Structure formats: structure tokens, C-alpha cells
Amino acid sequence: MKAEPDSRVVKGKDVKFSVDDFEAVKTTPWEGVRNFEARNLMKQMSIGDKILFYHSNCKNPGIAGFAEVSKEAYPDYTAWDSSHPYFDVKTKQDDPKWFMIDATFLSRAAHFVPLSLFRHIADSASSDPPDKIAYIGTDGVKAIKAMPLVTRGRLSVQAVNEECWGIIHMLAEKGGWEEMAFGKKKSGPRKTSAKNSGPIQKTKANSTDDDHGNAVEAEAGTSEEILDGVEPRKKRKASEIDQDGLKEVPRRRSVRTKKEK
């Protein structure tokens, strides 16, 4: 599950939610998801299901911590809060379209696991892991190559199977790749044929890159919906109303607040 660690103001509110914020509040509603596939994945979650907490839309995206589901899906009341960055005029309290779960922080990743490492492994033609992380074995390489994180387009919530969870947890515990040389490759100048040397037209790319050009998760092909002109990049900010939308609830200055008892 993704959140943005850097400040970004939407409709006058900072939607930043980093691993520091998560650790501070401990439990938070995971509001603001406005994509049907991501919503449906949350509706399938059960209490105790494990969560990979992912820093997104930043200079160095990757796995920053671990959490678990502490409350199963219920209506996302921020969708009918007109002051919220992800307000949706088409959803109503008596017929909610969007849902959220509560997530509880478990731990930080002892070693931040960057997206660039996953991409390095996924792009390798070899089925063997790099020497520095040989401990994940060929099965670990195979699992990473199949992860939606590196095979799909931008989506804020994705399923992770048990095998992948184990491999990522192992990477976070052991590290070892810090001195490896990998990252985004620079492309050289584009070559054109002398025969077809007419003017080149520039078009706006329909990119599915999720994190600063790191063709992410790519989370593929399926992009978040844009509602009321608000782009769907996923940052977390709790609503400033309670679930019934009837009274104000104190909220933290960061993005999420500790869940009220």
C-alpha cells in the first residue's frame, strides 16, 4: 500500500504520510483510494492481513515498513467531505462507492528496500540473484520478477503473495545491496535514419510511471481515476469529519491521525 513521504498540498491540505508519520500515529484509516480495483482489493482484506508500506511519488520509492489490517473495509467517509482532497461528488452517505480499511503500524524496514532493486532484479536476464543478495535464491528472483510492483501500472493497493512477502521481509532484514551499482539507465541520443529525416513531432507521453519516472509498479495499464480535477497520486490525509459527517474530529498536522477509540 502506497503513501507519499514528501509534502504536497491538495485543496489547501498537506497529504504527506511517511513512515515517520505512520509510526507516530500507530493506527490510521487508509482513506482516499479512488480506483475500483484498489478498492476491491481492500474489501477482500481481513483483520491480521499483512501490509507492505511503500513510499511513493518521491526521489527514492520503495518499501519503508510493515503494517497489518486492524479493521476490515468500511465506507470511506472522506469521499463525501467536500473539503477533502479526494472528495467525490458522485458518492453519497446512504450509497457509498468508496471504502477503506484501518492499518496498524508494525515496524520499519531495517533496510529500506528500493524500487530500483526490484527493477534491477526483474530486468536481469539471469535467474540467479546478485551475489550481494544471494540469500534470496532463484525462487526469490522468480517471485520478484512476477510481482505486480514491477509488472503493472500505477495502482495504490496491490496484492502480495506469501512468498513475495517472505522475500521482501528477508531483504529488509538482511540488506546487502547498498554497494551494488543499479538504477535508472540513461538513454542515449535517438538515432534517425537519413532516409526518413523529416521533422520529429513531439507528443505527450501517456506514462504509467509511478515514482518520478521509475516506470513503476508499474502497476500496469490501470491508472487511478481522476475525480473533480484531482490527480490520483496517493497521499494520505485523514478527513476532518467523523464517519457520520456530523462533527469535527481533531486531526494531526501531518497526514493521518491516530484512530480514535
Per-residue pLDDT tens, the chain, 261 aa: give them.
Answer: 889 999 999 888 888 999 999 999 999 999 999 999 999 999 999 999 999 999 998 999 999 999 999 999 999 999 999 989 989 999 989 999 999 999 999 999 999 999 999 999 999 999 999 999 999 999 999 999 999 888 886 678 999 999 999 999 999 999 999 888 775 554 445 554 444 444 433 333 333 344 433 333 333 233 343 333 344 444 444 444 444 444 443 443 344 544 544
Does residue 18 contact residue 64 with C-beta atoms inside 8 Å? yes
- State the pLDDT at residue 183: 58
CA separation for the pair 209, 203 (Å, rounded): 16
Radius of gyration of the chain (CA): 20
Residue 239's SS3 state is coil
Residue 136's SS3 state is helix
- State the pLDDT at residue 241: 43
In one-letter notation, the amino acid at residue 75 is: P
Residue 28, H or E segment: strand 27-29
- State the pLDDT at residue 42: 95
Extract the C-alpha cell encoding 187: 538513454
- State the pLDDT at residue 153: 62
Q: φ, ψ for residue 113 (rounded to 5)? A: -100, 105
- State the pLDDT at residue 60: 92
Q: Which residues pair with 103 in a beta bridge?
A: 28, 69
- State the pLDDT at residue 178: 84
CA separation for the pair 34, 72 (Å, rounded): 17
